[in-house]
């Protein structure tokens, strides 16, 4: 599918990945409608920091993904929907699981019902590697069993299956992208890499973290965005689930060491009990099989392997080390 000449809706455009994706699409000359969370401050989230030439070419619609009427209005007139709007913080899902059902499952239902009724040409639904739970075999293929180890991951399993059910039941043109552990500029400090970088950048020598032994497949945001674009363009992706990752795993502890080295700092690590997941809820190992993404999409991580991770971390550290950017983060408190 050629995206040129298509009207593209991005939900969650005000968030971390959504804002990067929206800006990339606009820079490429696409016609983009950005769906952002309504708020009384008229904030567009991270899109407020985009260059004026980007913002001037955007159509921004504020609403709530949980509201079917507002979602339908946002979808109307669009050819392609890239659905990223979701609640993603795992610790907060222990606190307020109802909101994850409403946002992640019902919000997805609102999108795919509108897409079906309005004859949208394609929906790209965003999944997460958390739906696999701790890897039973590695690298993790798309056929790996799904295992919800947190209310968040359970809600995303439900959302994924709801989306796929519409393809199977009504032939709604839906593809599912399953990113692994995206990181980069603008990410919330609820995620581990920004947590580490922001504490060090704020001058702390004692870093508060949770578990250090789990492994993750960290995927730089530019690679994740590239995956979204390629899924949107690929006709063969309809009805499929596709992992997007770096194809490389590293422990949290080794990631901390790499970041400290890149920042030229000596640090000590304190385990913060508040940051630990319940033992049966911790996902111990994630490592993406990227064969399907390479075969179907021609997608390969530009920031893969140790050297790719170092380059991605350098970009991320540079962004967080800017005083204006760091000032947006409360490094002295733990935000669930």
Q: What is the pLDDT of residue 336?
A: 82
Q: What is the pLDDT of residue 335?
A: 81
pLDDT, tens digit (0-9, with 9 covering 90-100), for 92-109: 999 999 999 999 999 999
In which residue ranges of the chain is CATH 3.40.50.720 found? 7-182+219-247+289-297
Alpha-helical (H) ranges within the chain are 16-27, 52-55, 68-75, 90-95, 97-100, 107-117, 151-170, 192-201, 221-233, 252-263, 291-292, 305-321, 323-326
Nearest 5°: phi and psi at 189?
-75, 0
| pLDDT at residue 332 greater than cutoff 90 | no
- Mean pLDDT over 302-323 rounds to 98
| pLDDT at residue 188 greater than cutoff 90 | yes
> How far apart (Å, rounded) are the C-alpha atoms in residues 78 and 56?
19
> How far apart (Å, rounded) are the C-alpha atoms in residues 49 and 47?
5
Q: What percent of the chain has pLDDT over 90?
A: 97
> How far apart (Å, rounded) are the C-alpha atoms in residues 178 and 308?
20
> How far apart (Å, rounded) are the C-alpha atoms in residues 28 and 234?
17
| pLDDT at residue 24 greater than cutoff 90 | yes
∠ CA 61-177-79, rounded to 5°? 45
Which DSSP category does 293 fall into? I
Residue 282 near residue 223, CB atoms below 8 Å: no
- Mean pLDDT over 57-77 rounds to 98
| pLDDT at residue 48 greater than cutoff 90 | yes
Q: Which residues pair with 177 in a beta bridge?
A: 126, 242
pLDDT, tens digit (0-9, with 9 covering 90-100), for 228-265: 999 999 999 999 999 999 999 999 999 999 999 999 99
Residue 37 near residue 99, CB atoms below 8 Å: no
Q: What is the pLDDT of residue 233?
A: 98
Residue 106 near residue 86, CB atoms below 8 Å: no
Nearest 5°: phi and psi at 122?
-165, 140
Q: Looking at domain 192-214+249-284+304-326, what is its CATH homologous superfamily?
A: UDP-galactose 4-epimerase, domain 1 (3.90.25.10)
- Residue whose token pair is 């979808």: 75
> How far apart (Å, rounded) are the C-alpha atoms in residues 127 and 130?
9
In which residue ranges of the chain is CATH 3.90.25.10 found? 192-214+249-284+304-326
What is the DSSP track for 305-331?
HHHHHHHHHHHHHHHHHSHHHHTTS-T
What is the DSSP track for 161-218?
HHHHHHHHHH---EEEEEE--EE-TT--TTSHHHHHHHHHHTT-SEEEES-SS-EE--
Q: Which of 201, 195, 171 is nearest to 183 (CA)?
A: 195
- Mean pLDDT over 115-139 rounds to 98
Q: What is the pLDDT of the chain when averaged over all its residues?
A: 97
| Model confidence band, residue 119 (pLDDT cutoffs 50, 70, 90) | very high
- Mean pLDDT over 68-97 rounds to 98
pLDDT, tens digit (0-9, with 9 covering 90-100), for 160-179: 999 999 999 999 999 999 99
> How far apart (Å, rounded) are the C-alpha atoms in residues 27 and 115?
25
Domain 7-182+219-247+289-297 falls in which CATH fold? Rossmann fold (3.40.50)
């Amino acid at each position: 599918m050629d995206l040129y000449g298509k009207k593209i809706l991005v939900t969650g455009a005000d968030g971390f990945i959504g804002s990067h994706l929206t800006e990339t699409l606009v820079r490429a000359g696409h016609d983009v409608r950005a769906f952002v969370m309504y708020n009384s401050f008229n904030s567009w989230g991270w899109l407020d920091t985009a260059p004026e030439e980007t913002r001037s070419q955007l159509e921004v619609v504020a609403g709530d993904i949980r509201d079917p009427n507002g979602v339908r209005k946002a979808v109307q007139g669009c050819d392609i929907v890239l659905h990223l709007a979701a609640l993603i913080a795992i610790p907060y899902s222990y606190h307020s699981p109802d909101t994850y059902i409403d946002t992640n499952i019902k919000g997805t239902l609102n999108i795919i019902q509108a897409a079906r009724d309005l004859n949208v040409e394609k929906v790209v639904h965003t999944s997460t590697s958390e739906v696999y739970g701790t890897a039973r075999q590695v690298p993790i293929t798309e056929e790996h069993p799904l295992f919800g180890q947190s209310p968040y991951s359970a809600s995303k399993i439900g959302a994924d299956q709801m989306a796929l059910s519409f393809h199977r039941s009504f032939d709604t043109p839906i593809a599912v992208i399953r990113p692994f552990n995206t990181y980069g500029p603008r990410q919330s400090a609820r995620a581990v890499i920004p947590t580490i970088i922001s504490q060090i950048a704020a001058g702390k020598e004692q870093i508060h973290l949770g578990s250090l032994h789990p492994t993750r497949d960290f995927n730089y945001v530019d690679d994740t965005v590239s995956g979204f674009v390629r899924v949107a363009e690929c006709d063969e992706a309809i009805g499929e689930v596709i992992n997007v990752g770096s194809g490389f795993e590293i422990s949290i502890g080794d990631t901390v060491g790499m970041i400290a080295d890149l920042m030229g700092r000596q640090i000590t690590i304190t385990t913060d009990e508040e940051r630990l997941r319940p033992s049966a809820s911790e996902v111990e190992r994630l490592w993406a099989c990227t064969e399907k993404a390479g075969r179907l999409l021609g997608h390969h991580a530009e920031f893969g392997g140790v050297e790719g991770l170092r380059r991605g971390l350098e970009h991320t550290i540079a962004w967080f080390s800017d005083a204006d950017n760091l000032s947006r983060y409360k490094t002295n408190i733990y935000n669930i």
